[in-house]
Structures are given as structure tokens and as C-alpha cells.
Amino acid sequence: MQNGDQKLPGQPERQASKAAEATYKLAEQIGYLLRQANQRHVAIFTSRMNEKLTTTQWAALVKLRDLQPCSQVNLGRETAMDVATIKGVVDRLAKRNLIRTAPDTTDARRLVLTLTEEGEAAVARNLPVAHDISEETLSTLSPAERAMLAELLRKIS
Amino acid sequence: MQNGDQKLPGQPERQASKAAEATYKLAEQIGYLLRQANQRHVAIFTSRMNEKLTTTQWAALVKLRDLQPCSQVNLGRETAMDVATIKGVVDRLAKRNLIRTAPDTTDARRLVLTLTEEGEAAVARNLPVAHDISEETLSTLSPAERAMLAELLRKIS
DNA sequence: CTTTCTTGTTTTGTGTACAAATGATTTCAG
DNA sequence: CTGAAATCATTTGTACACAAAACAAGAAAG
């Protein structure tokens, strides 16, 4: 019930506080803008990607095509996924026979991942779709704006 | 990148995908860039926000301060959260006594939300922190770049 | 007034996302 | 060679995120 917030009398207000309170608008915050933009992209992705693939599943498949054979943790690193997250993604893709998992013969810790035939086909089949999804997400921007957005996002990552 | 979309059934593989296959790099896709940038922001938020508040919980609290009294669904709309998502967020905030919920006397469907004293205090106390978090997220950008990024994100939302 | 439409809430189910802890294995330093 | 450190995988727990369905209550139309 109590807030440990009381200030000593006579002590000056926190300098940043007043200004921040006056200016802080949720809809202008970078976190909110990022979340909104991402939401729209995911919505486009979901409605366009015919097979039931999520953005992260697609990322894992595409990246694995380049890296295979590849350990689970390494695929996670390359797709910016936590170990627990990549495990779930891999498990679901393996259950759908898009990915094959096998123990590494030289390093017993590792789980070696490869695309199945079906997985390779799914990637090849959906590359044009994925391209169109990126295109639609950026459809309101000029080529120069697209390049600028990509650069700015990279700069804050 | 042109995929002249003639999808005749029985055609084995789309040949238009050749160009896309050659160009498609995961790390350059807008979805991946958005996800990465958002991840970094959330990491900054989590490490800086002393009280255990998430980005969405913070969004709900800040927005509710402006809108209260306000129905659950409306708060969800204003913070870009799904009905199921906002319910979870509100439930957790109510359990922590930051939000008060009460049935609407004039519309029995509605759940009226208000901030508790503690909730008001938490918002006031953390506004400077939230400001600093946005600042740190954008710290690698010039003022012009920040404005540009915000505008571009809004344009694709 | 009653049928229909709309709105607000809740629940279920699936899928990220990440912190933290555990255990197994490999590598490395002394 | 051996103990310490690093790496890989798994598990647990919490918290979004959203589709879809179910239900109650208000509003609109006839």
C-alpha cells in the first residue's frame, strides 16, 4: 500500500522528472513504435504465408539452409533466439518433418540439424512469398526510405 | 525479384524464385531487423526498470493514467493489445495492486479500470526511468536520425 | 417487443521470448 | 593427468501475442 517514494521536505524535485512527465507520450516512444511496426509485419506475414509457418520458424529454416549441418545452439545464435526458444522452434519443425535432428558423432553435446527434403522444398517454395511479404511491409516507403530504415534499425541493434 | 505470379497447378517448382533465392538474405529482411531492434530495446528496458515491470505492463499503466476510468478492451485498443493479451496484463497488474477493476454500473459488460494510489505512484516514479530507457535505446542516433526512424516506423505501421 | 447486430469479456490452445537452474560433455590450464 | 571453466542441451516458470470460440449484455431495426 505504501510507496517508498516520499521526498524529504526542501529537497529539490528530480530534475528529469518534471520534464519527462511533461513530454512522455507512449505513442512516441521508440519501444512502442517498434512493437507496432513489428505487429504489422507479423500480421502481413501470417496472412500471406500459406503453410502454417511463423516468422521465427521461417527464420530458422532459411538460416539452416545456409548453415547446415549446424548445432541447435548455433542456429539459435544466428537467428537471434534464446536456447529455450530455439529448442521449441526446432522441436516443432522436426515434428513436422522439415528438420532432421541427430546426435553429433564427434561431440556428444551437440545436436546436429539438417533440413529434410521436405524442409528444403518448403524453403524453396516460399522464398518468393517471403520476398513479397518484405515488399508489402515496406510498400509505403520509397527505396531511399527503405535503405534508411534498415540502416537506422541496424544502428540501434 | 519479379515474380510474375502465374500459379498453374501441376507446375512443379516456381522458376521465378531464382531471383528471389539469389537475393534473399535473412539478416537484411525488415522483419528480422525489427525483431532484433525490439529485442535490444526490451533488454535495455528490462535491465533498467528496477521494479519488475514489463514493456507492455508499463504501456498499460501509462496509458491508463491518461484514460482512466477506462474499460479493459478500450485500454487494449489504445495500447495495441489483443483482448486475451490485455486481460493477462490487467490481471497481473491488478494482482500487484497497481490497477483496480470494478464492474461498470451503467454497462454490465464492461470492466472499469483505474490506477490505484500505488499504481499512480509507480507511474510517476518511473517516468524518468522510462525516458532514460528510450534515450539509451536511441543513443547511437543523432536527433535527425531519431526523428527519421520514428517517422519511418509510423509509416509502415 | 423481438430479432439481429454489435460490443465486452473470458477461455482455450499454440507459439514465441527469456531468465535461471541443471546436467552432460568438452576444453583448457596448471 | 586433473580440476576448473566453457559449451551444449534441456527443463521450469513467467509473460506476451494472437486466433478462435463461447457467452452475456447493450443497441439498432423492424
Per-residue pLDDT tens digits for A82-115:
999 999 999 999 999 999 999 999 999 999 999 9
- Rounded mean pLDDT, A41-59: 95
At A3 the pLDDT is 38
At B4 the pLDDT is 33
At A15 the pLDDT is 47
- The reply to whether residue B124 touches residue A152, judged by beta carbons under 8 angstroms, is no
What is the Cα–Cα distance from A149 to A143, expressed in whole angstroms? 10
ipTM of this predicted structure: 0.86
**Does residue B71 approach strand D to less than 7 Å at its CB?**
no
Is residue A80 in a domain? yes
Tell me the CATH number at A149: 1.10.10.10
Chain B residues lying within 8 Å of A45, measured CB to CB: 31
At B70 the pLDDT is 95
Distances (CA, A) of B145 to A35, A153, B22, B150: 19, 10, 31, 9
Per the structure, the count of domains in chain A is 1
Is residue A38 in a domain? no
Q: Nearest-CA distance from A99 to chain B in Å? A: 18
pLDDT band at A135 (very low <50, low <70, confident <90, very high): very high
Percent of chain B with pLDDT over 70: 86
At A19 the pLDDT is 52
Is residue A13 in a domain? no
Is residue B144 in a domain? yes
Model confidence over B42-90: pLDDT tens digits?
Answer: 999 999 998 899 999 999 999 999 999 999 999 999 999 999 999 999 9
Long-range contacts from B58-62, C-beta under 8 angstroms, 24+ separation: B58/B126, B58/B130, B59/A26, B59/A32, B60/B86, B60/B89, B60/B90, B60/B93, B60/B99, B61/B93, B61/B98, B61/B99, B61/B115, B61/B119, B61/B122, B61/B123, B62/A24, B62/A26, B62/B123, B62/B127, B62/B130
Is residue A86 in a domain? yes
Going by the DSSP 8-state scheme, the letter that residue B140 receives in this structure is: T
Closest nucleotide (C1' vs CA) to B54 is D15
- Rounded mean pLDDT, A66-83: 96
Q: What residue numbers bound the domain in which B134 lies? A: 29-155
Is residue A115 in a domain? yes
- Rounded mean pLDDT, B101-114: 94
Percent of chain A with pLDDT over 70: 86
- Distance, angstroms, CA A99 to C1' C24? 24
- Rounded mean pLDDT, B97-105: 95
Q: Would you tell me how many other CB atoms lie within 10 Å of the CB of residue A26?
A: 19
| Smallest CA–C1' distance to C27, residue | A107
At A23 the pLDDT is 83
- The reply to whether residue A16 touches residue B131, judged by beta carbons under 8 angstroms, is yes
